[in-house]
């Protein structure tokens, strides 16, 4: 695999929200292709479960960290710990996310602020801190996890979470702007916009509206783990070395 466009041997990936869901799936594919893994979230027990599985299955180095990505102090501390433990961060996946389902006219301000703090501010803080190291090293791949909810407006019966969709649209533009700013430093910044995948965050919506979602999807199906992993692996490795500032929808065509 040494000459593979997808080989990550010797790279270190930091994945926020890596204790479960899409973050854990991404951590697994990176480990499968040789990367060492650092995962962080507010629930360190979940992260520890992830790293135990990865070390046992793939024989790579993996460590878990506790971090609220909306706290600049915690972000700085975690990044320094990861650099101390691994010596470098070559790949950053900004996956931590929050949502709040509510009719817009009834949504509390603190709910809006919570979603923005995790999804937008957290992505900024982690990118800023890891980016400083990447700029010094002259290389880095940053992958932001957006959403098709940030590409199109869904009817309220499918998704009634205006804070979430607005935050993901912000993540998409942040991706493009940051890619433009840091291209000259050897950094690549791209985003994945998943459609409906079965995760803890989406399980309630899918439980209620799976038939409607599938019916409206051009490919007539929900997202599967390997599809997301393939997109993440592509953006993390040499296969995407002429790609930056892009938002790749992994959604079965639902954003068309």
CB 44 within 8 A of CB 66: yes
CA distance 244 to 250: 17
Instruction: Considering the candidates 33, 58, 65, 164, report the single residue annotated as catalytic.
Output: 164
The gap between the terminal CA atoms of the chain, to the nearest Å, is 35
Q: Which residues are CB-neighbours of 222 under 8 A, at least 6 positions away?
A: 195, 196, 197, 198, 206, 210, 213, 214, 252
- The reply to whether 242 belongs to the active site is no
**Spatial CA neighbour of 141 closest among 245, 237, 18:** 237
CA gap 25, 234 in Å, rounded:
14
- Contact between 125 and 176 under an 8 Å Cβ cutoff? The reply is no
Pairwise CA distance, residues 210 & 76, whole Å: 40
So which residues are the catalytic ones?
Answer: 164
């Amino acid at each position: 695999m040494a000459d593979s466009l997808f080989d990550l041997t010797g790279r270190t990936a930091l994945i926020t929200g890596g204790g479960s869901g899409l973050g854990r799936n991404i951590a697994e594919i990176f480990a499968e292709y040789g990367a060492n893994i650092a995962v962080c979230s507010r629930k360190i027990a979940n992260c520890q479960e992830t790293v135990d599985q990865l070390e046992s299955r793939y024989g790579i180095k993996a460590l878990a960290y506790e971090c609220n990505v909306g706290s600049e102090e915690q972000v700085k501390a975690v990044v320094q710990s990861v650099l101390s433990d691994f010596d470098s961060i070559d790949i950053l996946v900004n996956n931590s996310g929050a949502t709040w389902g509510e009719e817009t006219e009834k949504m509390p301000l603190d709910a809006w602020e919570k979603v923005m703090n995790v999804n937008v501010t957290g992505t900024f803080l982690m990118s800023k801190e890891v980016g400083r190291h990447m700029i010094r090293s002259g290389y880095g791949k940053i992958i932001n996890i957006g959403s098709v909810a940030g590409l199109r407006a869904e009817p309220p019966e499918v998704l009634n979470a205006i804070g979430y969709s607005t935050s993901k649209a912000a993540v998409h533009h942040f991706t493009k702007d940051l890619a433009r700013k840091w291209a000259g430093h050897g950094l690549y910044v791209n985003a994945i916009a998943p459609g409906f995948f079965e995760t803890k965050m989406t399980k309630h919506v899918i439980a209620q509206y799976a038939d409607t979602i599938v019916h409206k999807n051009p490919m007539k199906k929900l997202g599967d783990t390997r599809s997301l992993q393939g997109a993440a692996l592509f953006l993390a490795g040499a296969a995407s070395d002429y790609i930056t500032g892009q938002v790749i929808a992994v959604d079965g065509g639902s954003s068309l």
